[in-house]
Amino acid sequence: MTTATVDRATIRPAKMDQGRAVLLTRVAIIVAVLAIWEGMARSGLLYRDVVPSLLLILRALAHLLVEPTFYANLGVTTGEVAVAILIGGGAGIGVGILLGVNPFLQRAYEPMLHYLGPTPKIIFFPMLIMWFGVGPGSKIAMGALSSFFPVAISVAAAMREINTVLIRVGLSFRLNVAQMILKIYLPAMRAPVINGLRIGLGVAIIGTLLAETKLANQGLGYAVIQTYATFDMPRMYALLIVVFMLAVGVNALLGRYTELRATARSADPR
């Protein structure tokens, strides 16, 4: 048995034990949070309906999942977020690549991305309503605006990390701009682009839902604000759980894809 085989045989169980420990820690944290929530619900320290029992929330969730109106609102929000991340993420990738290949534009405009990125995008919503109306257009624009900045910043930073040898190879083969983007830039920074899209997706969901709570007659944000207006707290928390689980699920899929690509790249160094 070679030294490399022994090392792999030793490292693999250690990684499995570490993975189990991480999983158990996560489960313990979730159980503790749920226990604290239920304790607050039963203690009477807060008004009963503000922190309802977990049983009431689960009952509201079960009712919610069989209602056609819920799936109609879910479809509206999902469509708006999908179009928003397509527009905002696509524009962010394009701007990030442009800043990465042009040092002058990078020095002139990248600081503006960093200044405007942390700005709460909800302050632009009245202007978006004037431009795109009160329908889905303003919600999509809100989500696209929110997702644009993290994607553009991530891609611009990733462009500076690309191996210059790859760029010289592309130039030596006389690749045009489109070919350089498709064959050199995007493959070399796949992981940063996906991570930027993960962050962009999160803020796109937040921006879209915030817009739906302000001025809408459909969508999950509208449904949440309606349950708040009628003080139906169990249903409101059930809707928030659905939004949270959907966002976590999509994020987990993107993260898993990144891990699989990294594993495949390490297994095949070519």
How does pLDDT run across 178-212, given as a tens digit for each residue? 888 888 888 888 888 888 888 888 889 989 998 98
Place of tokens 């891990």: 259
Stretch 226-249: mean pLDDT, rounded? 88
Confidence of residue 60 (pLDDT cuts 50, 70, 90): very high
What does the DSSP assignment read for 54-78?
HHHHHHHHHHHTT-HHHHHHHHHHH
Identify the pLDDT of residue 139. 92
Distance CA 245, CA 252 (A): 10
Lowest-pLDDT choice from 41-45, 179-183, 246-250: 41-45
- The domains of the chain are located at 1-43, 60-267
- 60-267 maps to CATH 1.50.10.20: no
Q: Cβ(63)–Cβ(57) under 8 Å?
A: no
Distance CA 169, CA 83 (A): 35
The torsion defined by the Cα of 76, 80, 83 and 85, in degrees rounded to 10, comes to -130
Provide the percentage of residues in the chain whose pLDDT is more than 90.
22
Distance CA 259, CA 263 (A): 6
Question: Radius of gyration (Cα) for the chain, nearest Å?
Answer: 23
Identify the pLDDT of residue 75. 92
What are the CA-CA distances from residue 92 to residues 85, 132, 193, 197 (Å)?
10, 20, 10, 9
Q: Is 16 exposed, middle or buried (0-12, 13-18, 19+ CB in 10 A)?
A: exposed
Output phi, psi for 268, to 5 deg: -125, 85
Between residues 45 and 100, which one has the greater pLDDT? Answer: 100
Residues 6+ apart with CB under 8 A from 128: 138, 141, 142, 145, 211
Whether 87 shows a pLDDT value over 90: the answer reads yes
Whether 109 shows a pLDDT value over 80: the answer reads yes
